[in-house]
A and B are shown apart, each in its own frame.
Chain A
Amino acid sequence: MIDKESCNRLINQYYKEIYNYCYARMNYDKAAAEDCTQEVFVTFFSKHGKLEETSNIRLWLYRAADNVIHAYFRKNDTSAVSIEDSPEAQNIPDRNTPSPDEGSDTLLDMLDDDERRIVEVYYDTDYGDRRSAAERLGLTMPALYQRIHKIKNKIRNVKSKQ
């Protein structure tokens, strides 16, 4: 059995990554993702007596996560659902976005040049063109979306304080 410190260090290193992977594939169910993430690490350490014997821990963890996720769907007789059908995804905050009003120009004015450029890229391109457009900004697609998300939150926070 691997020593406790090594266990803890490895779990800390990969916990978020494996959790995010499980969460993204399990219909945005936080509780299920937490349970499955735990099972991945328990399974990993039950199979690996020595870390040095494992040439690719990350790959093994992802493989184990795939198995755990499939077992979860099989056990719960569920499958991946679309975002529209996912009760968890229904709570995504943009559904409460306020309608534009007279103050909307002010809200956009508070964006800096980078943020404006990012918003332009997102709304001036569709999915097929967005990747290359993002790359011109030095961003990956996921990074672009995270920036859009932050910008949206920024606008919402300002709006709520008005």
Chain B
Amino acid sequence: MRKNILNDDNLYSDMLTELQAMLSEELDKPEGLRSYDTIAEITSAIAEISGGAVSDEKAASAADDITASLFANEKRSMINMVSKYLSVISACIIMLIAFNFVSLNSFGANLFDAVVSSRDDGFVIDFSIKNPGSAVTPVNPADDYTLTTGVYATTEGVYATTVVYATTYTTGYAVIPAGTTGSPTEPQYVADTTGAPQNTRPTGSSVTQKSADTNASAPNTTTAPASPAGNPGDTQGSGNVPSATDDPERITIAEHLMRECQYDDFTPCAPIEYDCVDPYIPLTDFSSEHMTDSDDYYFAFSDEEHQVDIIIEKYNDPDDIPQLIIPISEASHWKITGEVGAIYIFHKDDRMCAVFVYDNCVYTITGYNFDESFEDFAVSFRVPIQN
């Protein structure tokens, strides 16, 4: 030891190599399990040891520069916005004509194709390539098919439980009996708003992170919401998270997606097949962000053995959809076609990630500790059709 610290020529490079290994280990974890405190500590050590750390003064100066740049840009963007609107009318005419042709021939088609490129640490999907020519083959309106009951229906056994905002409501779609056949041009189901929310999300409040056992109290209401007919598992008192007598876990993945998105009047695509995935796997993490050009929803479902992450990014404009990074290096990847259109699958070891775009929404579905049958779950995502 007495000699090592003094003549260890590889000390710093060894430490940096090990710190990079720690960083990779942390980044390989699902986003919901990462510790950003740990990441910050590791990268701070890397910067300091390698001589790349910035001083407080330099950081403050850089911050000032960025702020100045932002507010200088703001004026320019206003000018650009004005000139953009002047041409929008003429553009609309062309778009209407184009979409008329598209809608006649591409029901259910996903206009988004993508370019997938690989990097050393994963893949990048570029959805900016729009290729109507490679869209999903339109479903022939004359074809019959069988719709399976399940997710999109509030059937018996599905509990309508109190949600954080002290409002009980039943969402979902009308019951479709098994064996129903029909044409995709006809609405198969409508949003069932029976027992619509008695209270909307409080204005001005941000969406807080919710988990199955959160104790966040709702802002108002003192009445116990009524339990929708036909749904066992009545609600408990107002304002609180379901008590132990209720069964908050008896909510399917699809229902969770619909419930949270419904606050923003948005009905997402949702899965209807759960062969390898427990439909009632607990929701352990949820967050949403509302930004200028998109609304993002992050769901994490997990039990002792598995985890399913679903990220829905709803963009106002298809041009705003950025490149998507799949941080799974050396993964097998392929493209399949579901009802939602092209679905890109990335698979390595016990991790599978499925990505697709539908209606300006990017869906990223990641499964941990599932076998290849997780693909069936991802492919089963269906398009909501409303009147």
Contacts and interface: CB of A to CB of B under 8 A. Distances in A.
Interface in A40-58: 41-42, 45-49, 52-56, 58
A91 B21 CA distance: 20
A110 interface: no
B51 A104 contact: no
Given A49-B292, A108-B5, A149 B47 contact: no
A142 B19 contact: yes
Interface in B310-328: 322-323, 325, 327
B117 interface: yes
A12 B63 contact: yes
Interface in B16-72: 16-23, 31, 36, 38-54, 56, 59-60, 62-67, 69-71
Contact of B323 (A7, A70, A80, A83): A70
Chain A interface secondary structure, helix, strand, loop or mixed? helix
Interface residues of B, number: 78
Contacts of B42: 24, 141-142
Given A20-B43, A92-B12, A149-B49, A8 B67 contact: yes
Nearest to A21: B43
A70 B207 contact: no
Identify whether the interface residues of B are mostly helix, strand, loop, or mixed: helix
Contact of B9 (A12, A55, A58, A97): A97
Given A58-B36, A92-B13, A124-B1, A16 B59 contact: yes
Chain A, interface size: which category? 35 or more
A19 B293 contact: no
Given A80-B121, A94-B8, A56 B287 contact: yes
A88 B11 CA distance: 16
B206 interface: yes
B262 interface: no
A55 B209 contact: yes
Contact of A143 (B43, B45, B323): B45
A55 to B, nearest CB: 5
Interface in A116-137: 119-120, 122-124, 127, 130
B294 interface: yes
A37 B52 CA distance: 14
A120 B1 CA distance: 7
Contacts of B38: 140, 142
A11 B67 contact: yes
A79 B292 CA distance: 32
A70 B325 contact: yes
B48 A19 contact: no
Interface string B357-368: 000000000000
Contact of A30 (B5, B52, B69, B290): B52
Interface string B224-254: 0000000000000000000000000000000
B104 interface: no
A20 B36 contact: no
Contacts of B322: 67
Contacts of A80: 120-121
B289 interface: yes
Contact of A74 (B8, B49, B117): B117
B74 interface: yes
B41 A140 contact: yes
A55 B290 CA distance: 9
Contact of A45 (B1, B18, B70, B209): B70
B119 interface: yes
B4 interface: yes
30 contacts: A1-B74, A4-B71, A7-B66, A7-B70, A15-B63, A17-B40, A38-B65, A38-B69, A46-B292, A52-B204, A54-B206, A55-B206, A59-B287, A79-B119, A83-B16, A84-B13, A88-B50, A91-B51, A94-B10, A94-B12, A97-B9, A104-B3, A104-B6, A107-B6, A141-B42, A145-B19, A149-B15, A149-B45, A149-B48, A155-B6
Interface of A: 1, 4, 7-8, 11-12, 15-17, 19-21, 23-25, 28, 30, 33-34, 37-38, 41-42, 45-49, 52-56, 58-60, 62, 66-67, 70-71, 73-74, 79-80, 82-84, 88-89, 91-95, 97-100, 104-105, 107-108, 119-120, 122-124, 127, 130, 140-143, 145-146, 148-149, 151-152, 155
Interface of B: 1-13, 15-23, 31, 36, 38-54, 56, 59-60, 62-67, 69-71, 73-74, 117, 119-122, 124, 204, 206-209, 287-294, 322-323, 325, 327
